[in-house]
Chain A
Amino acid sequence: MNAPDLLWLVVQDAFWSAIAATGFAMVFNVPRRTLFGCAIAGATGHALRTLLMQGLNMPIEPATLAGATAVGALGILLSRRLRAPALIFGVCGAIPMVPGLFAYSAMIGFIRFAGADAATGNELLVTATINLVKTGLILAAIAAGIALPILLFRREKPVV
């Protein structure tokens, strides 16, 4: 993929991710002053993931880890600037990266596997398991990525 195409793809990606993050931010009733920050966090994380996957052919799991780390770091910056809990930006920013399609495919795969016979079952089971493992790894990458910057940069003395 050449550079202008890639750029256009990432811009579109950021746009849709921002919408996804904003909708969830409203469901979570975030303070109004943080709403724009949530959209930015959502756009940054997912667009970075897409850039790494399309531009560098990175697999989805490490790309998610990078995207979530960016969300976590951005969350700390925004939480200092806007004096709001970093959790708000972390949760809303991670939402667009949620492996919804993998989880759905795994679910459908296992349901179909339940009704399969010996001849067709093998392929169904392998596909479903791959989707399940991908779902788990992507979720773990999101959680680890968001926590990473907080663990690295916020080493205040605990008050409790």
Chain B
Amino acid sequence: MIDTTHVAPKPPLTHDVLTDVIDLALWAGQMLLANGADSARIEETVHHVGTGLGCDWMDILVSPNALVITASSGGEFRTKVRRVTRLGVNFAAVDAINDLSRRIDMGLADRAAVRAELRQIADAKPLYNRWLVVGMVGASCAAFGRLFGADFPVIAVTFVAAAAAQLVRQELHKRHLNPYIIVVLTAFAAGLIASTATVLSIGERPNLALAASVLLLVPGVPLINAAEDLIYGHAVTGVVRGLTGALIALCIALGLLLAMGMMGVQGL
């Protein structure tokens, strides 16, 4: 039982207003789930959005690819399910919705303002120029190679392979391919270019280029979210996110092995 005696009772919302509030709450939750937030954050944020907009209470069920929300006000309640299929990572969106929910909670945004701001978040373009990202991903994997102990010729090959792979990933992403197929093909592209280090015997340990150039695909967000979800008792989403991460790792291995087989590289 929740003790609400210390707060003044909220005026009950009409059915139409309740419909509007639950739609906004679902929209915010959907964007959080689709962009890499952990389940506890989704639950907390959706709760703030609903109660901040006048509901007495919100109940949220976070499933790996859907949200169920019940909004209650007075004697009235509404329940809605929303499917969330395409999962990716966009921390700017997570941050913006987090900030919005904080302001809603303080009573600084009404429904029209929330709708306008959610639309703005949904339509926002990526913050970083795609060519800058291509270069930085190349540099990132090259840095990994350096941390593994690769010499500079191998690092250079890693840079080219990872940057080209990021370009492949961006192009495939635009064409809305299945995410796992994108991982396989991206790893394949990285593996093809990184194999040249071994084929042409560039540098001292050319196999490090193979290991480092596919790291741009590492499923860091699903795996860390899996751990957070399990710790906070969201076991179902935690297990599914962990499986997703493992599947991505297998897809990386598949793409890389295909490329190495084609290039006749042993990878040692």
Contacts and interface: CB of A to CB of B under 8 A. Distances in A.
A115 B67 CA distance: 46
A26 B128 contact: yes
Interface size class on chain A is 35 or more
The majority secondary structure among interface residues of chain A is helix
B37 A85 contact: yes
Nearest to A68: B224
A64 B127 CA distance: 31
Contact of B221 (A32, A91, A100, A139): A91
Contacts of A147: 227-228, 231
The majority secondary structure among interface residues of chain B is helix
Interface size class on chain B is 35 or more
Contact of A101 (B41, B96, B211, B231): B211
Contacts of B144: 16, 20, 96, 100
A104 B89 contact: no
Given A28-B89, A29-B128, A143 B257 contact: no
A31 B136 contact: no
Nearest to A89: B91
Contacts of B89: 27-29
A30 B92 contact: yes
B90 A100 contact: no
Nearest to A15: B143
A24 B60 contact: no
B184 interface: no
B185 to A, nearest CB: 17
Given A19-B143, A23-B140, A101-B208, A29 B267 contact: no
Interface in B89-117: 89-96, 98-99
Nearest to B212: A100
B91 A30 contact: yes
B116 to A, nearest CB: 20
Contacts of A26: 128, 132-133, 136-137
A60 interface: no
Contact of A159 (B47, B98, B133): B47
A95 interface: yes
Contact of A95 (B36, B37, B166, B220): B220
A41 interface: no
12 contacts: A20-B144, A24-B220, A26-B128, A26-B137, A27-B216, A28-B90, A85-B41, A87-B37, A88-B94, A95-B220, A160-B43, A160-B58
